Every structure is written in C-alpha cells, then in structure tokens.
A and B are shown apart, each in its own frame.
Chain A
C-alpha cells in the first residue's frame, strides 16, 4: 500500500482563519503525491483532478457508470485504480482489454484527448478513493482557479498544435 503511505491529511485551519469554529471542524485537505497527485479540500478539487472528472464523463462514464462506480458490465474504476496502480491503469487505457467476446475495454491509443489526460483521470479516481471526494461534479478550489485557467490555455494551445 505504498499509495496510502504517500498521502497525508493536512488540517486546513490556516486557510480558514476568521470562519466560525463549527465550520472548521468539517474542513480538511487531503492530498496525494506521485502519479495522479490530487488535492481535495472541502469537497473541491485541484484543476487537474477536475479535468479528470470531465474526461471521465466524456470518455468513461458511458460504460463505467456515474462517478467511477461501475455499471452492470464494467468495473468500478475507483477500486481498479487503487488495486492496479498507475502503470496498469495507464496501460489498460492505452492498450485496451478484450475480457471476452462482447465485453471489451477499448484502446484509447488513437484518442489524444484521453491519452493526454490519463494522469488527470488517475487523479480523479484517487481523489474519489483515498481523497474521499463525493459523487457528482466537483468544484475547483478557488485559490487554485488561476492555475486551472493557465493550464486550460496550455491545453488549448497544445490541441491547436496537434490539429495542424
């Protein structure tokens, strides 16, 4: 469980000075380092993890169900990410898997949008698991919003380059 060893809970007291103490009790920040790093703070996430959520809803949800929780035919990806680790998670998305006829995990090797976002997908799955992130669309942590916009600009530029 090296993954678990690498994340830690940081009391978010220093971020919330001036708020009522009743509110403080519920607030906390969970971070995970290494591949699929994430920050979860009061149910909000860092921009990369948020991007991972969006990619999940676009590319994964139609089979793996809402919020990574699995469907009648496709596994729960929160558990899969936890058990299989980064290499296997990324490898499966890139190569696909034929489980049996009619049950196929497609390869996303030809899909630059998904391939470029595998780390973010892994962040989202870890945030859902270790990070205790709830269901539904998360919000971005306000103090990290600017970073998100910068990232967004970078990505738009990358996409534009890829198309040329």
Chain B
C-alpha cells in the first residue's frame, strides 16, 4: 500500500543495491557497543552492554540529566534506540507517536510523527494500548501501529516512506510488538489471542513494504510453512502432516490464536529467526478438546525456528500442548552459547510464562533443560525430557476439574511467572537476569461463543499473591532473579512488592538494571543482587532499561509510564489469600503507589 507510485519506482531501482545491505547495517550497528540499535540490544536478545564507564564502583553517583514527557498516558513498554547520530528515537503507546530527540540538547524534539488511527482499535487491545518499540536499519525506522499498520519512516526527517496493513482490528487483530529487521526484511507478528484470531508472522520488504512471506501459527502445513518430512520436533522430523489442523476440534484452528506478539531473535550464523506463539484461542480448554480428550492444539505455545528468507520452519517445540491456563508462550528466546554436559552447544534459553526455565539446542530444537525458576509453580511437576511434555498436576488441570468449576490456587497466574518483560544475559557470568511475577490464580472455564471482533475468552480468573513460604516473599508479588540456564537453578533473587514488569539490562560494569512498578530504576551488583543505586521516576516502569555511549559518555535511559496487563490486574490490588472469605482486605494496590504518565529519563555520571 504505497502512498505514491513514484516512490515505488525509486524503491525498485534501489532494491538491487540494498538486498544484503540492511542486514549488514543492523549487524554493524549492534556490534558497536556504543549503540543500542535494536530493542533487545542484539539479534540474540541478550540485552547486554560491553560499556563499563558506569560500574559497580561509581553507579551511586548516577543522576538524571534530563527528562522528557511523551504527553501520552497508559503503559509505556519498549525503550529508546541510539544509532550514533546524536538522537534518541522513542515511541509511545496508542496513538503511537514517534519522537527523535536531540541527546545533546536535553531532549529537544528534532521531529515527531503521529499516525492517524481509528480509535476503535483501543477497546480491542486486551492488555492496554502498549507498544514495544521501533526497529531501525539503513536510515529507516519501522513501527508496528496498534491498528496493524506497519510503517517505515525516514529517520533523518520523520517523513513517512511507506505503510502496509498487516491485519484487521475490526476482527480483533492488533499490534503491540516491535518488528525486527533481518536481511532486507522487516518481520512482524500480531496480537489478538483473546479475540479468536489466527496468529501469523509476516516478513515485508524494507524498501517497499511488499509482503515477502507469511507463516501462520495454526492450520495446514502449507500455510504454517512446515514440511513434515524435514521440519524437526525434538530433533526428529515431525512425520505426520497437518497437525495444525488435526490437533483441534473441527475448524477451531481458524480461531486458534497462537498470536506471536513477543520478541523475535535471530542467529546470523545459522540464519534462523526464533519466536514463540501465544495461547490457543479460547481459554476454555473444553472447547479445544477432541472427543472429550486433551488435544495438542498445534502450533499454539510453540517455539518456532524459521528461515527468514522464505519463512520455512526448521524446527518447532511446543512448550504447552493443550493449554488450560493461558500460558501464552511468547517469551523471548535468548540465544546463548553454553557448555552442556561437557559439550559446546548453541543454546536457546527461555524464562517462560509457565514458571519453567528452558534450555534448547537452537540448531535442532532438542530440549536440554526444563526446571522451575518460580518455585511456587504447581500446574506441572516437571517436564518429561523424552517427550518434551509437561507432567501436568491433575489438581490444577482446569480441564480435568471441568467447565464451570473454579480450579483454585494455580501457580503461576495467566500473566505468567514472566510476561513480555525481556531478560538480559551476561556472557561474562553465563547467567540470565529477569524480572518475574509471583502471582497465582483461580481459573474457571465457561462455554463461550465466537463472534468476530468480540472477546473469545471463556474463563474467569481471580489472582492472588503466591503463597508465603517460611516467611519469605511476604507481601510481595515479584522478584528480580539471576538464573543459571544450564544448571537450571536460581543463583540469587531480590524480592519486590509488585511483579517486576520491566526489561532487564546487564553490563560489563558488573551491574544489572531493572525497573519496578512503583517507578524505581534500580542498579544491582551482578554478582549477588545487592542494590547499589535507585532513582524514582514519575510513574511505574514497564519499559526496558537501555544503555549507550555518545561522545565518550555512557548513558542509561528508560521509559516510565505504568500500564500493561500489570496496570489492569494490579491497580486495585489483589485479594489477600490469608484473609477470610468475603473480607474486604486487599493486598497492596498498585494504585496507591503510582499513576499514569509517559516520561523518558536519561541518566549519566557527573562530568
């Protein structure tokens, strides 16, 4: 959907020059430790910076150098990009404004862009009007608008270069994710798992916005882009055709969700992209059973490894076959090289919604490790390492307990033990650092009917803080943890009053950074989690802490602005499970600590 045909001609003539160029540009930028050129810091999703000007010894002197109000309320996810041109590029939730801010001039607005979007998209966004940020390559910025319009802007001027529609919000499709540029393509998924949409991942040409490929999450193999003879599952070919159809009751795959709305990572050596798909449509498992028995509902809650050139699927791993808890499997796949049982392995680590920390081989999709990082996790006791399937605890199986039965005290909650907040990985320590949620739920499925554009949920749920154990975690709903992905164990843990919903950062300055829902940015000692510095921003933080260097000075920057699912579920507080039935007592209410408002805060050490 080009605005001007004249531009199309120019774009085609440029195409030959830039085919391999975009990829090279993004790779070059992210390999420069002074830049933060992609939302997760690098293609591998590590959110690690080599910069060490700000370090364990001086971080207590870190102070805010300027702040910038975005003028937008509601949840600010994602973070600023810095590509070496003296500007920060930021975005906002709906209406999805984009700002280029002059880093040298206290955030003066160089240009701003505001799309014109149908406001009817707002109420069909399940979990606030969030957006996880911009992508950049070769002088272009890419943004996935709430209304599914993918746009390319000229980074120099803010001028719109092209736009293309990736979905239809009138049937409940929306966009919250940050696209990823790989080769000469910009790759983007879709949201709407609570509206019975059919999820897909799509690649568009960076120059023209023309669609290159689309791979669905459910349905026939030729639309998922699976070849059952060559696509691997647990290291072996899948064998059976069209599991994306046969593992559903009749036609249910057409509204089977599997929305891939999280982060995409990429291995340039293997030339594979990785992402996870969301929940399988309705939250009522009974409507997804086949002949009264659990059915896998493929390929929802599945890690996909795809060839970015044509979308073909190299391997799949379904983390939760037949979801009964909304354990939306979109969490980021950290690409890390590890030593596992004496062998060098190309690993893929996930701090998952389910409360389990996974380690897979990212060449073959074999499952290597599955251990609980959130100890209260009880929906499954463990994973069967041969079949890759969870050993589900029947007491917490909302399907076995039945429709219109309230299954109680399931951990974690549907929000997941970790949601979209991206983790960090330090190659120096070999550990993953992540903000997590310590919240449990009661879940009651009920029969629901599909109506296009209307919620297709079919379960009611109540949330409460995870149970206290030996006096630990009392009054707390979140933690920041250091996780050993190979040993499958937590090395240290810092407990927080609320779920930690911000993206983590690890640096060569022996620091880990994260934000809290009350609005603190914190720096902790990467060795033991000891708090070394904090700053109270004006609103709760669900954005990601990013760092970069400009003219010899290292900066740390973060968007604050409370919201997201946390802002909906926790604003009024949770019921205290320790209180008697019918008690009015409410657990800590987020609304008592923070209010709305988007602000970018930039930090540096004194001159």
Contacts and interface: CB of A to CB of B under 8 A. Distances in A.
Contacts of A76: 572
5 contacts: A62-B127, A65-B572, A69-B571, A72-B75, A72-B590
A101 B97 CA distance: 12
B406 A137 contact: yes
B95 A70 contact: no
A14 interface: no
Given A58-B457, A66-B463, A72 B120 contact: no
A117 interface: no
A48 B33 CA distance: 61
A71 B564 CA distance: 10
Contact of B460 (A57, A73, A111): A57
B248 interface: no
A135 B126 contact: no
Contact of B74 (A65, A70, A72): A72
Contacts of B127: 62
Contacts of A150: none
B95 A73 contact: no
Interface in A113-127: 113
A81 B581 CA distance: 25
A11 interface: no
Contact of A134 (B75, B446, B569, B582): B582
Nearest to A68: B572
A63 B568 contact: yes
Contacts of B463: 66
Interface of B: 72-75, 93-95, 119-120, 122-123, 125-129, 194, 406, 442, 444, 446, 448, 451, 454-455, 457, 460, 462-463, 540, 562-563, 567-569, 571-573, 575, 581-582, 590-591, 595-596
A57 to B, nearest CB: 5
A80 interface: no
A59 interface: yes
Contact of A102 (B93, B451, B455, B582): B93
Given A66-B463, A70-B572, A135-B462, A102 B72 contact: yes
B444 A103 contact: no
A104 interface: yes
Contacts of A102: 72-74, 93-95, 122, 129
Given A62-B126, A106-B120, A137 B444 contact: yes
A111 B129 CA distance: 21
A71 B73 CA distance: 13
A63 B568 CA distance: 7
Main secondary structure, interface of A, reads loop
Given A72-B596, A73-B567, A104 B74 contact: no
Nearest to B449: A159
Contacts of A72: 74-75, 128, 540, 562-563, 567-568, 571, 590-591, 595-596
Q: Which of A43, A54, A73, A113 is the most central at the interface, judged by chain B CB atoms within 10 Å of its CB?
A: A73
A139 to B, nearest CB: 10
Interface string A133-157: 0111100000000000000000000
A62 B120 CA distance: 14
Contacts of A73: 73-74, 128, 563, 567, 596
Nearest to B542: A72
Given A72-B563, A137-B460, A104 B123 contact: yes
Contacts of A137: 406, 444, 460, 462
A70 B591 contact: yes
Contacts of A71: 567-569, 571-572
Contacts of B75: 72
Interface string A52-95: 00100111001101110111110010000000000000000000
Contacts of B74: 72-73, 102-103
Contacts of A57: 457, 460
Which of the listed residues A59, A62, A65, A103 has the most CB atoms from chain B within 10 Å of its own CB? A62
Contacts of B567: 71-73
Contacts of B563: 72-73
B70 to A, nearest CB: 10
A158 interface: no
Nearest to A74: B568
A43 B572 CA distance: 21
Contacts of B125: 62
Contacts of A58: 448, 454-455, 457
A101 B572 contact: no
Contacts of B451: 113
Contacts of B571: 65, 69-72
Contacts of B595: 72
Contacts of B73: 73, 100, 102-103
What 4 A-B pairs have minimum CB-CB distances, sorted nearest first?
Answer: A72-B567, A69-B572, A106-B123, A71-B568
B582 A43 contact: yes
A133 to B, nearest CB: 9
A75 to B, nearest CB: 10
Q: Which of B94, B448, B572 has the most CB of A within 10 A?
A: B572
Contacts of B591: 70, 72
